[in-house]
Structure 1
Amino acid sequence: MAHQMKRNPPQQPPSFTANPVSITQDTKYLIVHAREGQNQIKRNVQPSTATFTNVILPLAHIDNALASKSHILVFYRAVSTSPELRNASMEAQNILDSYNVETSMDDDLFALVDAVFHNNADLEPESYRLLKKIYMGYIRHGLKLSAGCQRDRFQEIQLRLSCIKAEFQRNLAQANSAGIWFTAGELDGLPGEFLSKLMGGEVGKVNGDKVQVALNDSDLFQTLRYARDGETRKRIYIANENKCGQNVSLFREAILLRDEAARLLGYPSHAALRIEDKMAKCPETVNSFLGDLQARLRDNGMKEVDKLKQLKKADLESRGESFDERYFLWDHQYYHRMMLEKQYSVNRQKIAEYFPFQSTIMGMLRICETLFGLFFSEFNRDEMTKLDSPGVAHVWHEDVQAFSVWNSDEDGDFVGHLYLDLFHREGKYANAANFNLIPGFILENGKRRYPATALVCNFSKPSSETPCLLKHDEVVTLFHELGHGIHDLVSKTTYSHFHGTETEVDFGEAPSQMLENWCWTPTVLQSLSRHYSYISSEYLDHWKEQAYREPQPQEQMPDAMVESLLQAKHINGALFHLRQLHFGIFDMVVHESDDRHAIEGLDVSAKYNELLARILPMDSPEGDDWGHGQTRFQHLLGEYDAGYYSYLL
C-alpha cells in the first residue's frame, strides 16, 4: 500500500464536526432545501408536460444532494461517544423519515411521476429503473388509497414505525452494556487475558468479590465458548435472550403496524409487499426455499448433535458428573469449540496469534488491491492535520483509520474514501456493519461525486504490550464487511438511489459472502498471517510470558495449522445453517400471517422459542416463555424484514 506515490484526492474527505444543535439544524435545512426544489417542480410542470427530464431528473438531483449530507448526520448515532450527539442523530433520522413519508404521499408530485411513468418514453436502463422505483415507491406509500381516513392512517403507521425502529435500536445499545456478575470459580476455563479486562466489583459491596461479564457479543461468545460450568453458560445465554425486555412490545407493535399497512395497500401480508420487488418476487418462493433447505439439513443436524452429545458425556464423566442425555442451546459454543480442538487440532486461541489486528487489516487491504485493482493510501495524523481547517475534523474518533482509495492502473483514477472504526467503545453500534457516508453519483454538471464508506466493528483495543488478536471467524466477519465496503466504493451509478449496496436485499449479501471464501484459501491464509511475536519486542515479551518457555512459532501460519482449519470448515455446518433457518423462518412467520386475527393473537416470544425448538435439534428450557430473542433481532427492525432469507440464498 506504500508502493504508489501519495496523491491529493480530487474530493476532500468529509468533516465530522457536528454537535447536537448543528445536527438538528443541518437536517432541517437539508429538508427545507429539498422541499423548495420539489415545490419548484410542481410550480413549473403540469402532468400534460411532465417528462423524465423536467420531473424525475430534478427529483433525483434533490435526492442526491440530500443523501450526500444526511448519511453522516445519522451515522453519529452508531459511533459517537456522546449520548447527546447519538440522541440528536437518532432524532435526525426521525426527521428524515417524516420527510420521506410526507414526500412519498405528495399527491401533486405523484401526479407528475404517474404521467411520466405512463408516457412510455425511451429511457436507458438505469433511468427507467429509477422511474419505476420512484413510481412504485408512491404506490407502496398509499397514493392509490383514497384521501381521508385510509391515507391518514397509513401515514400515521409509517411515522410510528420510524419512531419504533429508533427506540428499538437505542434500547438494544443500552442493553449491550449491561452485564452479569460471576465469581472467579464460575468463570473457570476462560482465558486469563479476558478475565483480567473484566470490571471487578467494589470492595465491601454485594458484588465485591465478583467480576462483570457484559452482554455484548464479544463477552457473550467468549463465555459460552470457554466457561466449563454449564450453569454459567446457561445464566449468560438466558440473560442475553432477556436483556432487552422493553423491546417486546415494540417488536409486536411493529409487526402489527406493518401488517395493517400492507393490508391497506391491498397486499395479503407485509411479506408479500416487501418481497415483490426482490429477486424472489413472492413469499411462496422464499417459503419453498427455506422449507427445502430445512428438510435437507435436518438429518445431518441430528447426527451432528449426536456426536456432540458423546463429547459432552465424556467431558462430564471425566469430571465425575453424570450426563442426562440433553444437549442445551448454551452447550453448543463450548462443545463445538472442544470438538475443533480435540478432533481437528483447531485451537482458536493459537490461530488468533497469527492474526494480530493491524497486520491483518493491512493484509486484507493488500488482497483487495490485488483482486479489484485498487490502491489504498492511508492518511496519517500529519496529513490529516494538513487537511484540517480550524475547527474541522476528518475523523469522528481518534481510533479511526482513514484511506483514500484509487484505481491501481496507469490512469490511477480516484475511487473514494474508506474509514475503519474497529475498536469497542461505550455506546457504539454493537455489531459489525458497513455504513455508507456519502453515496456516489453524477452531479448536475456531469462530474462525479465520489463515495465514502465506513466499517464499524468492536474489537479490543491493543496496547504497546498487549495485542488485539483476531479469531479466524472474526477475520471472516471483517472480510464480509469489507466486501460491503468495496461494493460501496467501486459502484458507479448515475443516481445515488442505486449506489453500492442499495440493491435488492436478497442480492446485497452476495458480494460479501463471495469475498469470505478468501479466508479459506491456503495461500491467502498464509500470506495474511503473521505471528504477533514478530511485530515488536514488546509483543515478543508478551508472548514469552504466555508461552512458558516454548520455542517461538514460525512467522507465518504453519501448513499443518492451515490444513486443520480447512478440514474443520464445515464441522457442525448443518447446525449453523439450521440456526440461520430459524431466523429466516421466524421472519417469514411474523410477516406473513394468514389473516389479521392470526397476527393479533400471535404470542411473538412463544413463537420464536417454539420455532427454535422445532428447527434446531437442541434442548431448551421448558415452556415457550423463557426468552425473548426477537428483542435483540435488529435485522428485522432494520432493512431485513421479510428479507433475512438473503443470508441463506
Structure 2
Amino acid sequence: MTTLFRNAFPNFMIDTNITPPVYKPGSCPLFSIPATALGVRPGIVNMKFPQVPASFSTSPAGLLDETARLIEEARSLYAQLVDRISPENATFANTILPLSQSENRLLAARKLFGFYNSTSTSSELREASGRASVLFDAFDSETWMRDDLFRLVSNVVCNQEKENLSAEDAYYLRHKHQNFLRNGLGIAETKQRARFTQVQTLLREKALEAQQCINKSHGLWLSAEELNGFPRSALSTLKKGEAENEGKLWFPLTRAQIARALQFIEKESTRRKIYIANDNRCLENVPRLKEIILLRDESARLLGFPSFMDLSILDKMARSADLIHNYILELRRKLRTAGQRELKGLLELKTNDRSNDPNISSEIDPKLYLWDYNFYKTILTKTRRNFDEELFSEYFPLEQTLAGIMEIYSSLFGLDFVEIPAESYSLLGKDHIMVWHADVSVYSVWNDETQGGDFLGYLYLDLFPRENKYNHAGHYGLVPIDQVSSNTTRFDLLFHEFGHAVHNLVSRVKYAIFHGTSTARDFVEIPSIMLENWWWEPSLIKNLGNHYSYLSDEYLNFWKNSNDANTEQPHRTIDSTLIHNLIQTRHTDGVIGVLKQCHIAEFDIAIHSQKTHHDVELLNLSSKWNQLQKEVTLLSGPEADGEGWDWGHGSARFGLLVRGYEAGYYSYPLGKAYAQDLFKTRFEHDPMSRKTALEFRRVVLEPGGSRNGAELLKEFLERDVSITARFQELGLTTDKHV
C-alpha cells in the first residue's frame, strides 16, 4: 500500500480468507502459482497454498443463480436422508455428518455472497447480495421447520451415549437440536407454527430493508465558515459544490467524518446541525424498527419465552438476563458521580468559551449538549492533560502503523504476514478477480517456523471509505473470507480488528459453524477488546510512532501544504512526554464515553424485555432512546430547548440493533470487563510474553465457538472470570461476579 497519509479518515476492513474448517490434505488441489509470486516470506520458497484465493468476479444474476442451485442441492440431500433413513436407524454418522457437510457448503457461499451487500460499489450487486441472504435465511427456516429431519436428529440425541461421540461432536449435536426447537419445532399448535414461520419471513425482509437504509450515503452542504476548526487535511477531501451550492462543501455523514466534526468544528451551531442531521438520516427506519421489535417479541412469545431477551440468552455465555441488566445498572450507578464530575469540568470549559464569544449572551445558562462532549473533551485533553491528539495521530501513518501491528501480532502468536503484490494478481488468469476494489490489499498468512511454518490463510485489508460501504464498526465472519469493517481514526481499534482476524486465522475446529469468531455473541468481542490494551503500552507506542513527514518527499510536501509556512516540522520520533500524556487520558476523561455504551445497552435490554406484547406496542422507540440518553449519559439534546423527546431518531440509524447485536449490545461493556480480567491476570506484568500469548491462542482462540466461552476463559484464568478488574481500572470497587 502506498497511499498518501489516508489515515485521516480510515474506514478499514480486515478480511481473512481462511482454510476450510474441515480441510483434509489432498481434498483440493494445491495452488500451483509460484509461492514467491504470492508473498511467501524470504527464505521459504517451497511452500504451496492449499486453496486458491477467492475470486470476486460474480455478477448479480450469477450470484442469485448459484444461491438457488446450492439451496436446491441441500434440499435434495435432506429429502434423500429422510427417504433412506428411518428415525430409529438415525446415527451421528449417517445423519448428522451429512447435514454438517451440507451446512459447511452453504455457509461458505452465503457468507461470501452476503459480503457484497456491505462492500460492493455496484447497487445491483448489493441488492442481489441482500436478496441472496434473504433466500438463505428462508431456507434455514424451511429446514428448521421440517419434522422429518427433526425426528432423525432427535433420535440421534436420545441415543448419543451409545455412539461414543467426541466433546465437539456432542456439542454440535446439542447445537443442531436446539436450533430446531428455537426455530419453531418447539411450537405444538399448527396455526402458531405457521404464524411463527410468517414472522421469521417478515423479520428477514424488514432487517434487510433497514440495513440497506443505514448503508445509504447521506450528507449536507456546509460553508467553509461553518467548518472552521475542521482539520485542513480532512477539509481538502470534501467535494466542492456547484450551481446553488457554489462556495459550499459536501459533508458526508460517515462515522469518521462525524467524529472529527464533533471533535474539532468550533461553531456549536454547525456541530448541532451535523449531529441532528445524522440522527434523522434514516427516518424511514423509524416505523420499520418498531415493526422489527414487535416481530421479535411475538416470535419469542410463540416459542414460550416471556421476552425476546430471554430467548436470546439461550445461546449466550451470560447465565441470565437479570444478571446482565444488573451489571449494566451497577456500572452506570458507580460511574454517575465520576460522570457528573467530568460534566462539571467540561461545562466550565464551555462557559469560558461562550463568555469569549460576543455573539452569545452571557445570560444564557449553558448546558453540555450531545454535540459538545467530544469538542470540549478534546480541549480538556489538549490543555489540562497537555495532549494534542491531532499531532499524536501524525506519528502513525497507516502503512507504517499496520506494519508495526502485524509485527506485534507475529511476535505474540507465532504468525507471518506477507503482502501479495498487486502485479501478481494477473497470474491467476484474467477471469479471476483477486480483490473487490482497487483499494484492497492482500496478505498471505503463515505460522512462523516455531509453529510449523504452515499456511493459514489470506488477509484482506480494505481501509478507506467509499459510498455505500458499511458505515460502522463491525465484523463479518466469512468462509472462506472473514471481513471486519470499521470507520475510525483510533488505532486501538486497529488492534481490536486485527484480533478478530487472528481469531479466525488460527481457529481449528471440526465444524464451520463454530469457526473463529462464530462464538456466542457475548464472547466474540472479549479477545479483541483485550488486545486493545497493547495500544496503551508506552514502549510499543514508542516503537510504532514516527512522524509521517519523514517517510518521503511526497509526505513532507503534503505536511507543508497542510500547515502554515512558519510551522516547525515535528520531531521524527514521538516524544515520550506525548506518550505519557496519552496514557494519562485513558481513564481520567472518558467516563461519559463509558456511560454512552451503557445507554445503548440499556435501550437494547429495555425494548427487548417488556413484560407484555402490549407494552412493546406502546413503546415510542425514539423517545425511549432520547430519554435514556439524557438519563444515562447526563448530556442534553434539543429536548432541553423545549423541542420534546422526538427531536431525533438515533435508534433508527444504529445498525447493530438490526444486524446481530439485538438483545446483545451488553456484550461490549460486559466484554470489556471480562477482557480486562484476562489482561490484568495473565498479561499485565509482561504484555509481550510469547508463552502466555501462545497459550491464549491455544486455549481461547483456536476452539472458536466449539466450546462454551465461559469454560475457555476459566481454563485460561484457572478460575471463573470476574468483573472486578474493570471496576478497579475505573477507580471503582465491587465484589460481584457476572
Q: Return the alpha-carbon distance in structure 1 between the equivalents of residues 482 and 660 of structure 2.
A: 18
1:634 pairs with one of 646, 655, 658: 655
CA contact (8 A) 1:420 1:456 kept: no
Partner of 2:587: 570
CA contact (8 A) 2:395 2:548 kept: yes
Give unpaired runs (5+ residues) of structure 1.
439-450, 460-470
Report the Cα offset of residue 393 of structure 1: 1.0
Partner of 1:453: 482
Q: Return the alpha-carbon distance in structure 1 between the equivalents of residues 268 and 566 of structure 2.
A: 33
Q: Return the alpha-carbon distance in structure 1 between the equivalents of residues 43 and 464 of structure 2.
A: 28
2:309 pairs with one of 271, 274, 282: 271
Q: Return the alpha-carbon distance in structure 1 between the equivalents of residues 591 and 232 of structure 2.
A: 32
Q: Does 1:71 find its partner at 2:111?
A: yes
Give unpaired runs (5+ residues) of structure 2.
1-39, 671-738
Report the Cα offset of residue 237 of structure 1: 0.7
Distance 1:118 1:559, change over 3 A: same
Partner of 1:608: 625
Q: Does 1:490 find its partner at 2:506?
A: yes
Report the Cα offset of residue 554 of structure 1: 2.9
| Letter paired with 1:341 | K
Q: Return the alpha-carbon distance in structure 2 between the equivalents of residues 215 and 390 of structure 1.
A: 37
CA contact (8 A) 2:297 2:608 kept: yes
Partner of 2:636: 619
The DSSP-based 3-state class of the residue aligned with 2:466 is: coil
1:415 pairs with one of 434, 451, 456: 456
Report the Cα offset of residue 434 of structure 1: 3.1
CA contact (8 A) 1:425 1:458 kept: no
- More divergent stretch after superposition (26-35 vs 115-124): 115-124
Map 1:163-182; keep pairs closer than 5 Å. Answer: 163-174=205-216, 177-182=217-222
Report the Cα offset of residue 209 of structure 1: 2.8
| Letter paired with 1:595 | T
Report the Cα offset of residue 562 of structure 1: 0.7
Partner of 1:331: 372
Encode CA deviations 1:497-529: one digit per residue, 9 max, x unaligned.
100111111111001101111110111112222
Q: Return the alpha-carbon distance in structure 2 between the equivalents of residues 311 and 394 of structure 1.
A: 52
Distance 1:551 1:8, change over 3 A: farther
Report the Cα offset of residue 639 of structure 1: 1.1
The DSSP-based 3-state class of the residue aligned with 2:666 is: helix
Q: Return the alpha-carbon distance in structure 2 between the equivalents of residues 433 and 525 of structure 1.
A: 25
Report the Cα offset of residue 211 of structure 1: 1.7
Q: Return the alpha-carbon distance in structure 2 between the equivalents of residues 183 and 374 of structure 1.
A: 49
The DSSP-based 3-state class of the residue aligned with 1:589 is: helix
Map 1:148-297; keep pairs closer than 5 Å. Answer: 148-174=190-216, 177-203=217-243, 205=244, 207-297=245-335
Partner of 1:443: none
Encode CA deviations 1:29-53: one digit per residue, 9 max, x unaligned.
1111111221221122111111111
The DSSP-based 3-state class of the residue aligned with 1:254 is: helix
Q: Return the alpha-carbon distance in structure 1 between the equivalents of residues 616 and 191 of structure 2.
A: 23
Encode CA deviations 1:94-119: one digit per residue, 9 max, x unaligned.
11011111011111000111111122
Q: Return the alpha-carbon distance in structure 1 between the equivalents of residues 656 and 485 of structure 2.
A: 16
Encode CA deviations 1:540-594: one digit per residue, 9 max, x unaligned.
1222332534443333211111111111111332211110000000000000011
Partner of 1:82: 122
CA contact (8 A) 2:599 2:632 kept: yes
CA contact (8 A) 1:81 1:427 kept: yes
CA contact (8 A) 1:421 1:457 kept: no
Q: Does 1:561 find its partner at 2:601?
A: no
Map 1:34-183; keep pairs closer than 5 Å. Answer: 34-121=74-161, 122-146=164-188, 148-174=190-216, 177-183=217-223
Q: Return the alpha-carbon distance in structure 1 between the equivalents of residues 191 and 395 of structure 2.
A: 63
| Letter paired with 2:660 | E
| Letter paired with 1:110 | F
- Select the structure with the greater relative contact order (CA < 8 A; seq sep ≥ 6): 2
TM-score by length of 2: 0.82
Report the Cα offset of residue 3 of structure 1: 5.0
Report the Cα offset of residue 617 of structure 1: 1.0
Report the Cα offset of residue 436 of structure 1: 2.7
Encode CA deviations 1:439-476: one digit per residue, 9 max, x unaligned.
xxxxxxxxxxxx542343457xxxxxxxxxxx4x2x11
Q: Does 1:529 find its partner at 2:545?
A: yes
Q: Return the alpha-carbon distance in structure 2 between the equivalents of residues 202 and 541 of structure 1.
A: 29
Report the Cα offset of residue 432 of structure 1: 3.1
| Letter paired with 1:453 | D
Q: Return the alpha-carbon distance in structure 2 between the equivalents of residues 452 and 102 of structure 1.
A: 26
Encode CA deviations 1:295-333: one digit per residue, 9 max, x unaligned.
111111111000101111111222344252311111101
Q: Does 1:516 find its partner at 2:532?
A: yes
CA contact (8 A) 1:416 1:452 kept: no
Report the Cα offset of residue 12 of structure 1: 1.6
Q: Does 1:588 find its partner at 2:614?
A: no
| Letter paired with 1:129 | Y
| Letter paired with 1:593 | Q
- More divergent stretch after superposition (148-157 vs 428-437): 428-437
Q: Return the alpha-carbon distance in structure 1 between the equivalents of residues 637 and 485 of structure 2.
A: 33
Q: Does 1:597 find its partner at 2:614?
A: yes
Report the Cα offset of residue 607 of structure 1: 0.9
| Letter paired with 2:458 | H
Partner of 1:368: 409
CA contact (8 A) 1:178 1:214 kept: yes
What is the RMSD computed on CA atoms of the aligned residues? 1.6
Encode CA deviations 1:97-149: one digit per residue, 9 max, x unaligned.
11111011111000111111122423211111111111110110110213521
CA contact (8 A) 2:63 2:128 kept: yes
Q: Return the alpha-carbon distance in structure 2 between the equivalents of residues 500 and 538 of structure 1.
A: 40
| Letter paired with 2:383 | K
Report the Cα offset of residue 4 of structure 1: 4.9
Report the Cα offset of residue 352 of structure 1: 1.2
Q: Return the alpha-carbon distance in structure 1 between the equivalents of residues 495 and 72 of structure 2.
A: 40
CA contact (8 A) 1:421 1:454 kept: no
| Letter paired with 1:529 | G
Q: Does 1:305 find its partner at 2:343?
A: yes
CA contact (8 A) 1:50 1:112 kept: yes
CA contact (8 A) 2:477 2:518 kept: no
1:433 pairs with one of 474, 478, 503: 474
**Matched residues, percent identical?**
39
- More divergent stretch after superposition (140-149 vs 160-169): 140-149
CA contact (8 A) 2:211 2:659 kept: no
CA contact (8 A) 1:424 1:457 kept: no
CA contact (8 A) 1:422 1:455 kept: no
| Letter paired with 2:502 | I
The DSSP-based 3-state class of the residue aligned with 2:368 is: coil
Distance 1:427 1:227, change over 3 A: same
The DSSP-based 3-state class of the residue aligned with 2:337 is: helix
Q: Does 1:23 find its partner at 2:63?
A: yes
The DSSP-based 3-state class of the residue aligned with 1:513 is: helix
